[in-house]
Amino acid sequence: MTDEILRVTDLSTRFFTQEGQVNAVSELDLRIERGEVFGIVGESGSGKSVTARSIIDLIESPGEITDGEIRYRNADLAATIAEDHPTAVDGEFVKLLELPEGVRESLRGTSFSMIFQDPESSFNPTLTVGEQLAEAVEVQRRASARPRSTRSRTESAEYSLGSLLLSTVLPSRTYVSEESRDRAVELLELVGIPDPVERADEYPHEYSGGMLQRAMIAQALAGEPDVLIADEPTTALDVTIQAQILDLLDDLQRETGMTILLITHNLGVVARMCDRVGVMYAGEIVERGTLEDVFDDHVHPYTRGLLGSVPDLEDASGRLEPIPGNVPSLLDREMDDRCQFADRCPKAMDDCLEHPPEYPADGTDHHRARCVLAETVYDDARALPAGYFDGTERPAGDEHVGPVDPESDPSDERPRSAAETTGTGGDRR
């Protein structure tokens, strides 16, 4: 039996910029089970952060969620809200996008929390870490002490002061009780900060990068959230510290049973942390499944490209070598209704000029790929000619269409992905 905590259906998030409409996330589906670590992986600009921010309600103008539904399972919350907002409730699920803004805001910290790459942005430099954690605890306590249905706009604005994400607003010491201060020290201890009593009285700049990252995690845990969204939480740290922070998240997940949505461009991190993974490209999840599905039985050439470009999956520092070609701009006017990866794909065929649906990848429902190769075998006869997407057909071997690979056979006219050039011998390192 599944215990879905989050169900995102058909989510589209757009940015309406001066250059035009950016389709950052398009018709995205996502189901996350309670207690799992779900990874979203993909190159820069694929829409990972926008997906996360859409879930936690941090999309700001000129961005907008233009379509879709986000359901969060929380029976207590559903029961509390049902009276005032019946249309926002379906059984144990709360439809987040139908909640009034104040109620949605109040879920930040208590239901969902987010940690980021740069902990500095989560702390106010003029207050001690302990004060800020205590304030976060206080705000979350007050938030859960009052029934959500009776909150006024002013009250919700007050809650948002302590919202872990609005760190630019000064929290005020006067709200903080002794109990909350004690809890702040406990939280610092929980995330492995030595001498937590003393460290609580220090300012953010007195913390090292790794310690501040821990403190940010403590801050995110202050409201005992159901779902922790971690957006590249270790990217800015050096390798040893990265490994320690990942261990910490792993331990905390085990101890608290919380659900983690982990965003990364690092497949080594996915391999180490996640139960299931969604591979994201151009605002869509193009392949999803268990770690085994995605690492060992992948269908999508993009997944293969990502895997082939990882030097060492055991190494948390493993960086992606770029896949040849560019990530699409996601500008609406530049996007055709085709497979978005076709222009970089070593196996693009005529079929790929139509936008592929998500196919079951090997007859199972949990492994799915948005690629015709889930259904059809690759057929050279139907391959798109090299240079097809440049508008001109280029001669074979033209360096514009593929990586410069001195060892490739010049008579082979298909561009190769990094995976193909490095992974064919069965040894991808």
d(CA 96, CA 281): 25
- Among 6, 32, 38, 45, the residue binding ligand ATP under the rule CB under 6 A is 45
Q: Which of residues 79-138 bind Ni ion (CB under 5 A)?
A: none
Of 9 and 235, nearer to Ni ion (C-beta) is 235
417 binds Ni ion (CB under 5 A): no
Closest CA to 373 of 344, 403, 418, 342: 342
User: Rounded to the nearest whole angstrom, what is the least distance from the CB of residue 265 to Ni ion in the complex?
Assistant: 8
Binding pattern to ligand ATP, positions 261-290, x when CB under 6 A? ----x-------------------------
Secondary structure of residue 139 in the 3-state scheme: helix
- Among 32, 38, 47, 188, the residue binding ligand ATP under the rule CB under 6 A is 47
Of 330 and 339, nearer to ligand ATP (C-beta) is 330
Biggest CA-to-CA distance, the chain = 75
Region of 17-25, 73-81, 353-361, 386-394 interacting with ligand ATP (CB under 6 A)? 17-25
- Strands (E) across 108-192 are located at 112-115
Dihedral angle of Cα 63, 280, 316, 133, to the nearest 10 degrees: 30
* Binding partner of 364, given ligand ATP, Ni ion, none, CB within 5-8 angstroms per partner class: none
Closest CA to 117 of 212, 259, 224: 212
303 binds Ni ion (CB under 5 A): no
> How many Cα atoms within 13 Å fall on the side-chain side of residue 182?
3
User: Rounded to the nearest whole angstrom, what is the least distance from the CB of residue 10 to ligand ATP in the complex?
Assistant: 18
User: Rounded to the nearest whole angstrom, what is the least distance from the CB of residue 75 to ligand ATP in the complex?
Assistant: 31
49 binds Ni ion (CB under 5 A): yes
What phi, psi does 72 have (nearest 5°)? -125, 125
Starting at the earlier edge strand, list the strands of the sheet with 20-33. Answer: 20-33, 4-17, 63-73, 93-95, 89-90
# binding residues, ligand ATP (CB under 6 A): 15
- Among 115, 136, 330, 371, the residue binding ligand ATP under the rule CB under 6 A is 330
Of 42 and 233, nearer to ligand ATP (C-beta) is 42
Q: Which of residues 291-320 bind ligand ATP (CB under 6 A)?
A: none
d(CA 185, CA 166): 22
Cα 354 from chain centroid (whole Å): 27
* Binding partner of 47, given Ni ion, ligand ATP, none, CB within 5-8 angstroms per partner class: ligand ATP
Give the DSSP letter string of 357-373.
Answer: -PEESSS-SSSEESSGG
Binding site for Ni ion (CB under 5 A): 48-49
List of residues contacting ligand ATP (CB under 6 A): 15, 17, 22, 24, 42, 44-50, 63, 265, 330
